[in-house]
Amino acid sequence: MRYFPLFADLQGRCVLVVGGGAVAERKVRLLLEAGARVRLVAPEVTAWLRENAAVAVHREPFDPRHFEGAVLAVAATDDRAVNEAVATAGRDRNVLVNVVDVADLSSFIVPAIVDRSPLVIAISTGGVAPVLARLVRERLESLIDGSFGQLAGLLQRWRGRIKGGLPDVDARRRFYETIVRGQVAALVRSSDLPGAERELEHTLRQSNAQRRGRVMLVGAGPGDAGLLTLNALRALQEADVILHDRLVADEVLNLARRDADRICVGKMAGGHSVSQGRIHELLLQQARLGRRVVRLKGGDPFIFGRGGEELEFLERHGIPFEVVPGITAAIACGAYAGIPLTHREHAQSVRFVTAHSGDSLDGLDWATLAKERQTLALYMGVAGLGAIRDQLVQHGRAPSTPVAIVENGSRSNQRVVLATLAELEDAGRAAAVQSPALVIVGEVAALAEKLHWFGSAPVQWHGLRAAA
């Protein structure tokens, strides 16, 4: 980010404008709306500038002395030499200067503006594509009507009472979110400002009562932040605290409210782990503080995510909760690897199986899992590739059955290894596959060779290549 976005208070402050044509006039109009005292320097000026009593016009060539007392300057001439002189004089005096449409001479840029005062939105491309900035402004103009400004004005008038009535920062934030998303905003949109004020006052009185926290169990998906649902995004932006798994991508966490507390409660095989009991304690503790807690899980919280256990615990302790489903790894890994989990010619069903330990493998119905014309999606199976192969072959699945190992599915570093069932363990070892990875067993796995579209092409282990 080259340019730091900043809103400057120019009320009663001197701003120098050099230039007297139509462009300078537009800049002066904007500065006057912001309450600035405008000093304009140009040998020739437009009729409007000449006749406007609010503008101090100096009908003379630019001189560095014109910077005296100015906090900002705008150069709006068609003379490169004059613009350079203004930029140099500003730099020498540590005064920010905008040279209209000349980014290399400017120390600040005037953005495209959507004005719904006191709500103001500024859009900038850093001077490289002003037309694009105007296009974005036009789209925002159509989305953000005048009621947004009226709502902002209402909250401005009530700010002191709201702060006095709700001294706790988190409580105040929740109150404001209730206002802008609820009935008060609806009444403003319908032009019932007295009704909006009454509703705001009523809501404020209610908010003074002790507020219970709540937990939102949210699926973060497999990695690609673009796969988050709108409800998941809303939950992240409203959360006071986020308890997240180790495998939740940074791109997802970066979408959360910046001041939300983040607590990693991930589990790692052979490494530091937070026990499930401790996770329960943290959920209860944070909710009892009246905070909005997001329990953020990779994939979908109800698919091998122990989400049900956590909700049962919360229910026993009277903590309200919501659930936001996520895209589970099997769905995303299959799609991003070009593997349809079901296919009319190859598979009429798909089974999701967890294979993270010897105990879990021993308890599976391998005779059913080994049947043909179905797809197996095996979660957490990297450590047990040999056992998975042995069990499926022993129970009748053909050793030549295609398999795919999808590592870091949907992420920028996704890898797909294709092999046969007989070669599953050798292929995984040769490719040094690491978690998170999903194993897909079935004829559909071979389709990745021609249907892959995301990331690098699949790596084919020799047996599958030879079979082809």
| 101 tagged catalytic | no
| 267 tagged catalytic | yes
Q: Which of 27, 224, 240, 245 is catalytic?
A: 245
Q: Please, which contacts does 157-161 make with residues 24 or more away whose CB atoms are closer than 8 Å?
A: 158/200, 158/204, 161/204
Q: Which of 170, 267, 390, 426 is catalytic?
A: 267
Which residues are tagged catalytic?
Answer: 245, 267
